């Protein structure tokens, strides 16, 4: 069943001030002082605005940066790259494809054996759904990512 992961006025009204600043005003939260940088629980990370599935803990690793970092999106079409020339730098911004939420940035310094990408995300742009709640929250199709034999990695990767 297809989902509509668009941005709605109701969804925006539920955001905290920090979530709004990050997702709607392209903000960044402080390193090492955000909710998910050190989360080691298995599950998926969804767009805080729309609920669109974005990343899996099976692709999360400790980049040492203080932000949650992933080697790839849960589905390639979930995240789009956009050129970002703000702050006197040339970077690649990561945005959700459904709600067009600012998520963070993409860098080419990730683990080489996993493609070399680092999706450096803001916790404020994400909501974590533990494996035990996937079905209840409508994300049961991602359960197989955490079943033995389906994915050789049972949790976070070491950097």
Active site positions, annotated: 120
Distance CA 2, CA 138 (A): 12
Burial of 26 (0-12, 13-18, 19+ CB in 10 A): middle
88 φ/ψ sector (left φ>0, alpha ψ -120 to 50, else beta): left
Q: Is the Cβ–Cβ distance between 141 and 44 less than 8 Å?
A: no
């Amino acid at each position: 069943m297809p989902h509509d992961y668009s941005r709605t006025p109701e969804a925006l009204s539920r955001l905290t001030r920090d979530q709004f600043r990050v997702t709607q005003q392209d903000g960044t939260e402080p390193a090492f002082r955000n909710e998910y940088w050190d989360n080691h629980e298995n599950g998926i990370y969804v767009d805080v605005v729309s609920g669109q599935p974005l990343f899996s803990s099976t692709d999360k690793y400790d980049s040492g940066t203080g932000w949650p970092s992933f080697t790839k999106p849960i589905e390639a079409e979930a995240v789009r790259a956009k050129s970002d020339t703000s702050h006197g730098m040339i970077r690649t911004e990561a945005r959700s494809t459904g709600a067009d939420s600012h998520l963070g940035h993409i860098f080419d310094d990730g683990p080489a054996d996993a493609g070399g990408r680092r999706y450096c995300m803001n916790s404020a742009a994400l909501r974590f759904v533990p494996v035990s709640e996937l079905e209840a929250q409508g994300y049961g199709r991602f359960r197989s990512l955490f079943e033995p034999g389906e994915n050789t990695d049972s949790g976070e990767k070491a950097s």
